Chain A
């Protein structure tokens, strides 16, 4: 039996104080909130109506009236980026939800049962990892038809083994502890122990992995809509905006520059946020990619 010194639980205030001094957490948190706020605001208001095509205003360079310029239909690029944020966030968030909702129970189950169940699930994991994620996502969306819903499913499927792995590894490190032994001696079943003791202890790991997968989901959604398999027009999406910008790079580089920056800034902010959360909640944890 191993000796374990319990680290005293940190109070919420001390965590908050730590968070306030963590630069990457602050920066990541602030920008993430800004992007989410921008997406929320777009439901109520955007600088211009993107459903109206004003051909006379097409391909205008950035100006006071159109901060990020206009596209080939005369639509305001800033307004489109704001609405596109909705799509990116929704797709990535639901895909993470699918990954956690299915992957975590599977990973916990594998860790609790061990033996054949564990081996079988890990081999299934190997199988999914053998398919390059983007290739399979393209196949899935091509088979079931392009669109935001199918993009969510395609990205979500690849989140499942990721969360299953993280949950299993985390759970396996908790199971040998004394308090688990005590709980078992007290007659608790494996399911109850997983619910009451394992899950709260791996929540940090899952939270950190969640922000990473969220960021990767935004990149994946952009790739899918770039090749025309994500959200369909007239719904603006960042990837699609880049596709439409490609043939007009020479006349209207702003059509490509700003949506791309939106992707980079959002993903960067989420990664910084994830780093920060990992540092603040658990100094020992390292990020996995």
Chain B
């Protein structure tokens, strides 16, 4: 088990290092001089040169890379050109919107999808199964930003239950803030729930046809107990894999959804930073997102080992 986990940690770390090289290299080839962007068009060549030296932009490539990575590890992300504040402050402020949003969406998606998938699997081929799988097939095909527009039309424009966009901040009270997050969370969650429900159903159907399920039934164990004790546990591996992938997808999905709802989150920050060529913000936030994805996948790998004892013996 330790060998298996160590190998996963090593792979995760190597992926993270490679990712940092890729991000650094990509931003290196980007057109546009950050110093000139900072100083504006009227700056003289000497001024630009002075700022370049100050910012360390004239240092050798390798030195700059290690400097950058070293600062990232120390959570020193540098200063944003456009906002003129430390990037870490921006990130902290925005994470307070995006993280709750992604977590609410993930919770919603899981709470809907797993019961639906279980239900469909236990009634395979019958009415409930056909209906829920038909609905999920449509759910998979719905772009989340379109779904968001429909939700805005229905609940904000027509029924006026919630605001159409914007975020009052957590200082305005938890209820006000949650009210602003609920539509975006639903828009993010439902298409994901459709995928998750299908995966859960498929995994359950496979497990339910195993011999040990028949044995458990034959020894007189009630159906419900079989479902929860034996089937669900064994069906969790593919479900967890998809959940891990979905977290990455939800994080990226916030880029679009936060734009639809004008939420001041990480996604909107990175989108604006890309269009404004605020490279320091782009590279920090991209690395933060990539590190999160890698970490989540590592947690998924670890939980495999906890769920499936067979993996523990493998290295």
Contacts and interface: CB of A to CB of B under 8 A. Distances in A.
A250 B30 CA distance: 40
A253 B143 contact: no
A171 interface: no
B146 A260 contact: yes
A132 interface: yes
B275 A142 contact: yes
Contacts of B202: 286
Contacts of B149: 242, 245-246, 249, 256, 260
A284 interface: no
A222 B141 contact: no
Given A134-B256, A215-B141, A260-B146, A123 B274 contact: no
B144 to A, nearest CB: 8
Given A249-B157, A260-B149, A139 B143 contact: no
A159 interface: no
B77 interface: no
A108 interface: no
Interface in B193-212: 195, 198-199, 202
B245 to A, nearest CB: 8
A226 B252 contact: no
Interface residues of A, number: 38
Interface in B245-290: 248-249, 251-253, 255-256, 259-260, 270-271, 274-275, 282, 286, 289-290
Contacts of A245: 149
A289 interface: yes
Contacts of A286: 202
Q: Main SS of chain A's interface residues?
A: helix
B160 to A, nearest CB: 11
A265 B195 CA distance: 17
Contacts of B22: 127
B286 A226 contact: no
Contact of B256 (A223, A260, A265, A272): A223
B137 A138 contact: no
A153 interface: no
B137 A289 contact: no
Nearest to A253: B153
Interface string A220-261: 001100110000000000010010011001100100110010
Interface string B13-48: 011101100100010001000000000000000000
A268 interface: yes
A142 B274 contact: yes
List of 3 A-B pairs having minimum Cβ-Cβ separation, nearest first: A132-B252, A267-B141, A260-B146
17 contacts: A130-B19, A130-B293, A131-B19, A131-B290, A132-B248, A215-B141, A223-B256, A226-B143, A249-B153, A249-B157, A250-B157, A260-B143, A260-B150, A271-B140, A272-B137, A286-B202, A289-B195
Interface of B: 11, 14-16, 18-19, 22, 26, 30, 137-138, 140-143, 145-146, 149-150, 152-153, 157, 195, 198-199, 202, 242, 248-249, 251-253, 255-256, 259-260, 270-271, 274-275, 282, 286, 289-290, 293-294, 297
